[in-house]
Amino acid sequence: FFALTGSHFNGNDFLPQVLSDETILGVGTIENQGWKNYIQVPDTLSLLASLCRKYLQLFDIYKIALTGSTGKSSTKEMLAQVFNSSAPTLKTQANENNMIGLCKTIPRIKPEHRYGVFELGTNAFGEIAALADVCNPDAGIIINIGPSHLEKLLDEDGVFREKTALFNRPLEIRLFDGDDPRFALYKDKGKSVGFSDTSDFHITDLECDEASCHFKINGEPFTIPYSAPFLAKNASFAIAMGMLKDIPLPQIKTAIANPVQLDLRLQVEKTDSYILIVDCYNANPISMQSAIEYWHKLEPEREHIAILGDMLELGTQAPMYHNMIGTILTEKGVDRLITVGNLSRYYHSSDNSKQIEHFDSVDELIKSDILKTLTPGAVILIKGSHSVHLEKVLPILHKGS
């Protein structure tokens, strides 16, 4: 039993109860209270990470680590699907992409696994390097760089510096965003994926309908079962990595054509009353803009309603980025705008909506009964940072108007 500690929990509190069973060995940071089955250490998580690093070395497994500012989880799921079509593949569950999550993933490895796909997240300098030291990847992917976690990473240059720590280690393969000129310094050290003509894996002929997107990579056609255009680029990273590791092309095409589970991430739900676009697991300016563009184009003849929450961890630049999203809403046009949180007030503009309502919390929104007044048949975008808890509105919207 590893007694981990965090801002909302302290595993040491459970040691007396746990260690009453002498078949359990406890590891924690508090003084030994006479337990025979207890080891005191300075830092429980550091020890656990060291053990996981050693444990992973016991297995013959090709390790792929990916990071980015947005789209990590969807890309991770598609990567795992492509590689699982070739051999059993271990992957990060949900978005458990911090050190605790990585230390939960590695012990799930089995002797039959031949590939591992590890999602690496960060909100402070040094975290990507630390995570990469534990999983020691053979290949690294950086899908994009954008304004996320700026509270500690300060600006996009800081984000770039932190994310590219993944590339500053010996790797067989480096895959990066070919549409971002900042990655030019890795041109001779890796391969690029993008719409730019200079990309090694060049995406062209992208067309999307209500159920799927079709596109080509270096002239080869692919289809994915999602109607959001930006998911084509995420899929292209999975395709490119599969091609670089010599997975047969027909196998890659079949794998990428099957849907993956993306809970609360750009899920389109058609209910009896509304078309819901549910994307409230996370939010930053890039993902917010992509979601708005997709929502705006979906069934444009219908009324379009946006229920938007704060984009958190943007530091001192938060008002500016929320204002930027407000400008985008003005340009696209929104019939009704409902905002939730402290920062979401900055989405408001005098001319970006025919109807604007603001609530300090999602509970306040629910109590107001506003959700029962939404126009039947409307296309409703629900997006914000996870801690705003916009998912709480879903049961009401599922009941209908």
Domain ranges of the chain: 11-42, 47-256, 267-399
Rounded to whole angstroms, the Cα distance separating 382 from 282 reads: 11
For residue range 275-315, what is the model confidence (pLDDT) as tens digits? 999 988 889 999 999 999 999 999 999 999 999 999 999 99
Rounded to whole angstroms, the Cα distance separating 294 from 277 reads: 9
pLDDT band at 351; cut points 50, 70, 90: low
pLDDT band at 263; cut points 50, 70, 90: low
pLDDT band at 94; cut points 50, 70, 90: confident
For residue range 196-221, what is the model confidence (pLDDT) as tens digits? 999 999 999 999 988 899 999 999 99
pLDDT band at 232; cut points 50, 70, 90: very high
pLDDT surpasses 60 at 401: no
Rounded to whole angstroms, the Cα distance separating 317 from 14 reads: 40
Task: Output Rg (C-alpha) for the chain, integer angstroms.
Answer: 23
How far is CA 333 from its chain centroid?
Answer: 27
Rounded to whole angstroms, the Cα distance separating 155 from 182 reads: 14
pLDDT band at 352; cut points 50, 70, 90: low
- The two three-digit tokens of residue 307, written as one number: 């229920």
Could you tell me if 240 and 217 are in contact, meaning their C-beta atoms sit under 8 angstroms apart? Answer: yes
Rounded to whole angstroms, the Cα distance separating 310 from 321 reads: 10
- The two three-digit tokens of residue 139, written as one number: 């290949």
- How does 271-291 read in b/e, with b if 16+ C-beta sit within 10 Å? eebbbbbbbbbbbbbbbbbbb
Q: Give 3-state DSSP helix, strand, coil % of the chain, rounded to 5.
A: 40, 20, 40
C-alpha torsion 25→28→30→33, nearest 10: 0
* Top CATH class, 267-399: alpha beta
Could you tell me if 207 and 169 are in contact, meaning their C-beta atoms sit under 8 angstroms apart? Answer: no
The pTM of the full predicted model, rounded to 2 decimals, is 0.90
Domains 47-256 and 267-399 agree in fold: no
For the domain covering 47-256, report its CATH number.
3.40.1190.10
